């Protein structure tokens, strides 16, 4: 079976262990595409159970939706373990599980979809409409698992909500909490800077676990300095 950085599929009898320790979407995201995920899953045969392990900061919304649908349509029972982080569209992929478990030291994050775009006023309005429709489709995936009201899920997404395992359990995003999992960093921690409100403990934990190469170290140092300046700015204003 082909491997791609943090993505692998391993057969164990009639079960498959899938590790999605990777960003979602190919191209500039440099992660695992929905096409590659579907092809590798198909080539693995017809398992009775799929054990999907997730540690991902998210990525392409539409690749993530396609991966979610690929898993939902598979005849195998899908057991999801959130071993580290299931953020953004990775949290939607996690909802494909018939059973969803989360390590007690893991985190789950949901937020509104966003896009980098350009164009005329009319084109930007069309893009905004597309984002609204995309959010509606994501809400359906969350709602199928949690049974929360659409309005409540929408508010949680708009606030960029980061959840501990206990909080995710309380909201109904997961079915059970499992023991802690020790993980090495599997993606660039500076990717989390694109989010509005990543928990400080998560950022620091990832930075501590990251062994920077000579080329990466300046980027990590600049990231730490930028966070320090922003924290100082907010502290002066009591925010």
Q: Hey, which residues are catalytic here?
A: 88, 111
Structure tokens at 211: 């062994």
Structure tokens at 50: 């799929």
Question: Per-residue b/e over 21-36, b at no fewer than 16 CB within 10 Å?
Answer: bbbbbbeebebbbbeb
How many CB atoms sit inside 10 A of residue 17's CB?
Answer: 16
Cα 166–Cα 171–Cα 172 angle in degrees, nearest 5: 95
* Nearest one of 101, 175, 71, 91 to 139, comparing CA atoms: 91
| Distance between start and end Cα atoms, the chain | 50
């Amino acid at each position: 079976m082909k491997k791609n950085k943090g993505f692998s599929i391993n057969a164990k009898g009639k079960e498959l262990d899938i590790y999605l320790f990777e960003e979602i979407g190919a191209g500039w995201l440099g992660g695992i595409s929905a096409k590659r995920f579907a092809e590798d899953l198909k080539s693995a045969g017809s398992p009775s159970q799929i054990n999907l392990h997730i540690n991902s900061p998210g990525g392409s919304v539409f690749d993530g939706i396609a991966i979610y649908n690929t898993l939902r349509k598979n005849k195998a029972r899908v057991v999801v373990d959130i071993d580290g982080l299931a953020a953004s569209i990775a949290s939607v992929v996690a909802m494909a599980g018939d059973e969803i478990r989360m390590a007690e030291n893991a985190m789950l994050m949901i937020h509104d979809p966003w896009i980098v775009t350009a164009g005329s006023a009319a084109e930007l309005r069309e893009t905004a409409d597309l984002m609204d429709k995309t959010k509606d489709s994501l809400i359906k995936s969350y709602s199928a698992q949690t049974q929360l009201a659409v309005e409540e899920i929408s508010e949680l997404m708009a606030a960029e909500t980061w959840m501990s395992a206990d909080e995710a359990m309380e909201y109904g995003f997961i079915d059970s909490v499992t023991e802690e999992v020790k993980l090495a960093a599997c993606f660039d921690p500076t990717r989390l800077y694109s989010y509005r409100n990543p928990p400080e403990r998560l950022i620091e934990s990832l930075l501590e676990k990251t062994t920077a190469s000579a080329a990466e170290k300046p980027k990590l140092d600049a990231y730490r300095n930028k966070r320090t300046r922003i924290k100082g700015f907010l502290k002066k204003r009591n925010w």
